[in-house]
Structure 1
Amino acid sequence: MSYQRFASVLAALSVLLCASLPAAAAGWPDRPLHLIVPFGAGSTPDIVARLVSDKLQQRIGEPVVVINKPGAGGNLGTQLVAEAAPDGYTLGLTISGPLAANTLLFKNLPYDPQRDLDYLTIAATQPSILVVSAKSGITDMPSLLAKLRSNPGKYNFSSMGVGSISHLAMEALAASSGTEIVHVPYASSAQAVTALLSGQTQMAILPAAMVMAQIHAGTLKALAVATAKRFAVMPEVPTLSEAGLKNVQGDAWMGFVMPAKTPAAITQRLTKEIVAIVNSPDIKKKLQAQYMEPVGDTPAEFRAIVRGDLERWAPIIKKNHITLD
């Protein structure tokens, strides 16, 4: 075959491929969708995924099957989404780590979150709360900061693991306040809370759902929320910013993504449906019962949140030489 003939065939195939995408989108969906959650059953992302999937399948007329693929800090499941065919039948619900911090924590991340994924919307967010044991005698942020500054390296904090938001937010607090706090990582939020209650650690920044029961019981004391604005459930608790600690945030958000190059008609339809679902009265009530708030932002706003997280965590990770390789 001559070069000219080969080029003509290649051009024709390209035209056919491009033409097939709108056709595929027009007939979508005609089979079940797979919703990959890169964390285990019962995790907060899993809860949100199942709430949304139940409603989504009613709205699109096909089953939405939730598949849990935990591992590597959320990288495993997120990679499966990134490498899936961009045909509109695979989506994922992931968190900040696999899209932002993990690009800095892992030297050889097997996917590029900016290049390999289409962003739909952040479904919900949950504030992180700075807590101490009620037995500590620490009652507010000024008293905590005074103790930390007068005793550098004496106090420690528990986290849900190296590189987790609970770890990075506390390191950001230490950097912003000019203090030094020893990190004690645990395998789960439950273990991090247990360490606090037993006195093995003195403080932590953890998702609201993990500590609200203990706050209500009076065994943990909430000093501040690591969010841009106060938490509606506890409006009397200040933000870390109000305590003078700028850019220390630990929002535990969860967002929907799809493989890059998924037909725009499909990503736009799913974004519209998911935004409507998370803002519907019954789902909003169920999210709030788990101390979460619906978001439902645009793909551009979603990407801006990820960029903000990267900018926030990059100097913290570099300063503390944090790595997961």
Structure 2
Amino acid sequence: MSDFNTTNFTNPSSFILLGIPGLEAAHIWLSIPFCIMYAIVVLGNFTLLFIVKKESSLHVPVYYFLCMLAVTDLVLSTSILPKMLSIFWFNSREIDFNACLTQMFFLHSFSMIESGILVAMALDRYVAICHPLRHSTILTNPVVGKMSLIVALRSGVLIFPGLLLARQWPYCRTNIIPHTYCEHMAMVKLACADIRVSSYYGLFVVFFVTCLDVVFISISYTQILRAVFRLPTKDARCKTFGTCGSHLGAILAFYIPCVLSLLMHRFGHSVALHFHVLLSNMYALFPPMLNPIIYGVRTREIRDRLLRLFTQKGN
């Protein structure tokens, strides 16, 4: 590995991913839980997509958003897991420069898309509870399509400047990235230049997107709670708010690891590097794994159709 750790090159053709620094001897064992998590991600999200596709009664906005969330989770986890497992199993650490930028794009852009989808789902819950009679006329298929396009465009517009900055920096210190994937700041820190523009822009994007999306979600749920508390009986209040349970679970599964990872990167300088890397991987894998479980358990329509599917196969 020392051959790669040189200071006599500029703009290397490839980088070397270390995996989880300090835990190299445990890579094989660490691959087991990561592999199990990825299997749950693939099986759970493809099952959700299959059920929604097969059941015409589920062709409504809330399940369209759920399908978008499933596709986003599949892309997000697949952008890092295969390479990570190749490092753990085959010691395949090298990654092409352009492949590194591509991985970075998919990871960060689809994380942003997932946040946007959670905002769209919050809007769906707001309309369904606060304006139930107008739900079908407000959230029509063209409106859902436009919302999805806005979420995707926002991600591309905000991510591309960071990628262009990362691409133009001269990398003449080392090409070793102490991570399992090409994370933006882990890569940019290798540049032998003043990278404050990249650092500040990355912070701006994270805080702008996270804060803006959390504000929109909070406003939606404030209005939802006001509508729920106006209902006459406790049972009606519980039943109505219960329809938000799956979405709230998805919000917590996404934003809690996101905030912990952000705080760790910015303020946890005394924390061991391997803990940083493990937390970053959990941020990319935990929501995609939990989302199909949350919606499968909490959503009666999906649970009933899943049970019907297995019952039919059993017969």
Q: Above 0.5 in TM-score? A: no
TM-score range, shorter chain: under 0.3
- Please report the TM-score for the alignment, with normalisation by the length of structure 1: 0.26
